[in-house]
Structure 1
Amino acid sequence: ATAGPKTALPKGTTREKMATYEQVTVPASASEERHSGARVPISELPDFAQLAFKGTTQLNQLQSAVMNTALYSQENMLVCAPTGAGKTNVALLALLQQVGTCLEGGVLQREQLKVVYMAPMKALAQEIASKFSKALAPLALAVREYTGDMQLTKRELLKTQVLVTTPEKWDVVTRKGSDGLVQ
């Protein structure tokens, strides 16, 4: 069985098979299909999501362009943008999409929520964990960094809704499988 709706590449897409790879060229979308550049006010987000953006009045252009996909769909997305362009807030929007799935009658069912955020290196994991902790504090979500030689008890893991880790640590933990993290 497949997950999600069927998708197709846009018209004009070309494929060229090489000896060791396949090159797919996707044409740029027509200008009217691109985002208008209008910035989304935080007040237009669902109430629970507004809490995570306290002190911010609007999303920037990048965040506004991908907001519908990040916050209102479960579609995969790839965001390539320079440092400082707002990718962390795009990830926060996607995380909030998952938070929204755990709301029942306006009450957040924290025990139903587990998010693993994979950061490429420990320094970035520390930064992301700090930013997410601050942003998600109004929702009373527990964010923990899980990198390097750190150990979390099974109880700590159960109380954590957002785990920020690195590929190396995740590999070690999921291969070991003795701490109750992966079931």
Structure 2
Amino acid sequence: MASKCSDSSTANLRSPSEIPLKYRHIFSQYETFNQVQSKVLDKVLYSNDPIVISAPTGSGKTAIFELAILRLLLKMEDLDYTDDFKIIYVAPVKALCMEKFTDWREKFEPVGVKCLEATGDSEVGDFSCLVSAKLVVTTPEKWDSLTRKWRDAESMMEAVKLFIIDEVHLVNEDVRGPTLEAVVSRMKTIRHIMKTKGEDEDFGLRFIAASATIPNIEDVAAWLGEDQPACFYRISESLRPVKLQKHVIGFNSSAQGFRFDMNLNYKLAAIVRRYSNDKPTLIFCSSRKSVEMASKVLADESSLVSLGDSRKFELQQVSRSIQDSKLKQLVMKGIAYHHAGLSYQDRAIIEDAFRKSVIVVLVCTNTLAMGVNFPAHLVIIKSTESYVCGKSQEYTESAILQMIGRAGRPQYDLTGVAVIMTQQKNVRLMDRNKMMLA
């Protein structure tokens, strides 16, 4: 039976002053840790236990990962550990990996922890590239390809002391779940081998896993545990730092599939004007084609985005840096799109411009739904239907929660708004699943 570490009650807020001065800059954005972070702090920072956390989007899970990293660093200092060590952070999308790598390189390299990004967009090809790195940011697919022949570099694999799994709910998905399961199972095997060799328990492999949506958290906790299940926290939506208003808008239409999706393009501008409060808007579409069509329709709307002289100049700078010709033209109107078909460089430029609120409306596929920290006040899901392996199906509740969770992030906003556009027949179903109307 998995051990539940805490209920959803409030916790006394903890202070970064608990952190040794050498590492306090890592948490410089916090005057105090929030309710979620404070609730798990003792277990993360003062124990070696494996932990699974299901907490609302925007509740500061990154800081929890950083506390776990700090636990390892402090423990090595206290016990004069001088052997090699590695920390692996696994996330499902490259955009999230790039964000974490950029952030953590600034925070951890000044204290001697060299960071490395290993994704399909990087040039990391084999184990030899990992030798000098201490903190590796990667995807399940890349770590799988790097570690399939792990016995050829067993000593390096045994140097992994902390394995962080972001968006662990992915393990429940049909397409990418098996890869994550294989990767974690491989690391569990290495943990067992280290234990049979008599590895010091203080420096065994520790798992930390988190997501906003883990329906089977007890099973995940049992899976990541060893002699006993991992400790788990299931934290209520009521502790989300930025409150989220949620609206479902149903449309009566005889059109289905692609035609229904196309018709919704012409409803978007009105929703943006009604709910955005002239703040950044993120619009999720089910395919690259849908993303580009929606962007074009929005760009044809007059005065959807306020374009003062300062913003026009900034947009010109962004446009000149972009390779994609269609995207160049859209950007000049304060609107852009983002999907895996763009080059790595273009995706990075668009993400940075949206983060700085230079681009105000960003239309994307759900590759930006997981974990990425954007200043979106409004999130719109344009149709709850997607095509998987050529078949039409409704988004899962988990997928919808991930997407609407991009609205109202603590660093940027005091409130957030999420609007789900769907067939009228689906509105009652979403209400029944407690997805709805706030």
Whether TM-score is above 0.5 comes out as: yes
Read off the aligned partner of 1:73 and give its amino acid letter: S
Alpha-carbon distance in 2 for matches of 1:179, 1:52: 35
Summarize the alignment of residues 127-142 of structure 1 with structure 2, pairs less than 5 Å apart: 127-142=99-114
SS in 2 for 1:102: helix
DSSP 3-state at the match of 2:44: helix
The correspondence for 1:57, drawn from 31, 35, 38, is: 31
Q: 1:171 aligns with which of 144, 150, 168?
A: 144
**Which of 140, 152, 161 does residue 134 from structure 2 map onto?**
161
SS of the equivalent of 1:117 reads strand
Higher RCO structure, 1 or 2 (CA under 8 Å, sep 6+): 2
Using a 3 Å threshold, how does the CA distance of structure 1 residues 35 and 69 change in structure 2: closer, same or farther?
farther
Deviations 1:41-87 (A, max 9, x none): 11122334423223432211111110111111111111112222101
Matched residue type, 1:147: T
- Asked if 1:74 is matched to 2:37, the reply is no
1:151 Cα offset (Å): 3.1
The 1:108/1:178 distance shift into structure 2, 3 A limit, reads: closer
- Please say which structure displays the higher CA radius of gyration: 2
Please say if residues 115 and 134 of structure 2, whose CA atoms lie closer than 8 Å, have aligned partners that are also in contact: yes
> If each structure's strand is expressed as a fraction of its own residues, which one has the higher value?
2
Matched residues in 1 for 2:22 and 2:73: separation?
9
Contact 2:127 2:146 in 1 (8 A): no
1:53/1:135 contact within 8 Å kept: no
Q: Could you tell me how far 1:166 is from its partner in structure 2?
A: 0.7
Q: Which amino acid aligns with 2:114?
A: A
Question: What is the one-letter code of the residue matched to 1:68?
Answer: D
Partner of 1:129, secondary structure, is helix
CA distance in 2, matches of 1:114, 1:123: 22
Q: Which AA in structure 2 matches 1:134?
A: E
8 Å CA contact retained: 1:51, 1:139: no
CA distance in 2, matches of 1:73, 1:47: 20
Query: How many angstroms apart in 1 are the aligned matches of 2:122 and 2:42?
Result: 36
| 8 Å CA contact retained: 1:114, 1:162 | yes
For the residues of structure 2 that align with 1:41 and 1:172, how far apart are their CA atoms? 40
TM-score, with length taken from structure 2? 0.32
CA pair 85-141 structure 1, distance change in 2 beyond 3 A: same
SS in 1 for 2:117: strand
| Aligned residues of 1:52 and 1:138 also touching (Cα < 8 A) | no
CA RMSD of aligned residues (A): 2.9
Percent sequence identity is 31
Aligned residues: 154
Amino acid of the residue matched to residue 125 of structure 1?
A: C
Residue-by-residue CA offset, 1:127-160 (whole Å, 9 max, x unaligned) = 1112221221331311111011533376642221
Check the 8 A contact 1:37/1:65 in 2, yes or no: yes
Q: Which amino acid aligns with 1:139?
A: V
Deviation at 1:98, TM superposition (A): 1.1
